[in-house]
Amino acid sequence: MNCPFLSKYIDSEYSGALYIYLSHLKAALQTKLQLAREFPTDANVVNQLGVGYLYVGKNNKAKQSFERVLQSHPGNGFALVHLGFITKIQGDWKKSIDFLLPGIHTLAEGTQQGKFYFHLGDALHRTNRTEEVGILRACHFHIISGLNGAKAIYKLGAERGLFRSKYQRSLYNVERLKSRPYWTAQQAKVTDYVKITREQKCSWCTKLESNWKIIRDEAMKVMDVKKGLFVKEEESLKNTGEWRQFTLFQRGKKEVDCKRVPKTCALLEQMPNAIGCKRALCNKPSDYTFYSNLPLNKYPSTCSIMMPGTHVWPHTGPTNCRLRMHLGLVIPQTGDGVRIRCADDIRHLYLLGFAKMNTINQCLNRTWEEGKVLIFDDSYEHEVWQNAETFRLILIVDVWHPDLSEREKRNLMPI
């Protein structure tokens, strides 16, 4: 049923609820400020003031609160993990480890949350401490058996029930959903979106693979960097190189974007399981942000261009409620190629000969190809290398996990 009035009504109701919620947060912050003035040396009171600042996005104010606690209570685990969290998202990976690592091992109330293990492991990885031995001994805490870098932190987080596994580290989950790194169109129940079956005959179907050249040609027309339509990746996932994205339907900009790529948008609008996915395209856990600026009836898809020499850090998406589809538009087959690792499975963009492969398993892996859709669960750790000689261009479309009921899809909040 297409009911514009109902969509507008739902959006207005959501906006109203959001306004009330934010008003409550601001009122609560004022209460916490008053308490902190009356009890300036109470660690719990000042810690809660810091959390209040985080909820309204005042990270520097929050940072000052937690630093204030640590001046009088140096071993306060709650302040340590929160200060480490802020330091990490502000980009100081090395310093964040000095707070997060001792903080989580105090086992104090409020320290055993997935986001703290998530950011600690990420910081360790980005500072080349992936498999470091003895890192916890220096902090005088329990020694994890085996390797003690990022991998051990992820393993510990899984053992403590904070992650679904050491690889699947999403924080906003529906626990009963089936789980695997890679999916087929049949498993994901998106054959209607991906390819034409023998029984179907049509010149304009809602099929990504049969219309990939149309999508590619429209994307190529808006690729001009000078026009600024492809913007740099904004979630600090890139280690080296250049990675840009052109996003459709983002924050209600459907009319502007779709005038540039009208045929692509026409295809996507026939995919309600995609544009209706409220948990689409956010790559990082939203931590202390509990609302979205996206309208409730349209959610983004992205054309992604990656230049040679690009490496994307290992990362996980925030939820297991979606699956991610990559449609190959321009896939280079020169140089050392482009590849993706999801969990411990590496997929190459094309089959390389044995001379360039380390194992038979890698050589036999299915590949990304022009005009073909690759489907994976981005709640698993994944990493990308672009070592070809020319750019790579794909369309990214997120869809709901096939095991979710229609009621669950309606009731799940955006992230």
pLDDT tens, position by position, 6-35:
344 344 444 445 555 667 888 888 999 999
Cα–Cα distance list, 165 to 5, 157, 170, 256, 342 (Å):
43, 8, 9, 41, 13
Residue 362 near residue 347 (C-beta atoms within 8 A): no
What mean pLDDT comes out for the span 168-187?
95
Element (H, E) at 99: helix 93-104
Residue 281 is predicted with a pLDDT of 65
Band the pLDDT of 198: cuts 50, 70, 90.
low
- pLDDT per residue as tens digits for the range 307-323: 999 999 999 999 999 99
Band the pLDDT of 366: cuts 50, 70, 90.
very low
CA proximity to 293, closest of 321, 244, 253: 253
Average pLDDT across the chain, whole number: 82
What mean pLDDT comes out for the span 157-166?
97
Q: For residue 186, give every residue at least 6 positions away whose Cβ sits within 8 Å of its Cβ, in sequence order, or none.
A: none
Residue 116 is predicted with a pLDDT of 98
Band the pLDDT of 290: cuts 50, 70, 90.
very low
Structure tokens at 345: 């499975």
Cα–Cα distance list, 226 to 51, 139, 229, 230, 260 (Å):
41, 50, 8, 9, 15
Kindly tell me if the per-residue pLDDT of 212 is higher than 80. yes
Dihedral angle over CA of 47, 48, 53, 54, nearest 10: 80
Q: How far apart are CA 259 and CA 251, in angstroms?
A: 16
Residue 271 is predicted with a pLDDT of 87
Band the pLDDT of 299: cuts 50, 70, 90.
low
pTM confidence score: 0.83
- Catalogue all structural domains in the chain, each as residue range(s) with its CATH number: 4-159 (1.25.40.10), 182-411 (2.60.120.330)
Amino acid at 277: C
Residue 1 is predicted with a pLDDT of 41
Element (H, E) at 24: helix 4-38
Residue located via tokens 């050249």 = 213
What mean pLDDT comes out for the span 144-148?
46
What mean pLDDT comes out for the span 41-50?
96
Percentage of the chain modeled with pLDDT above 70: 76
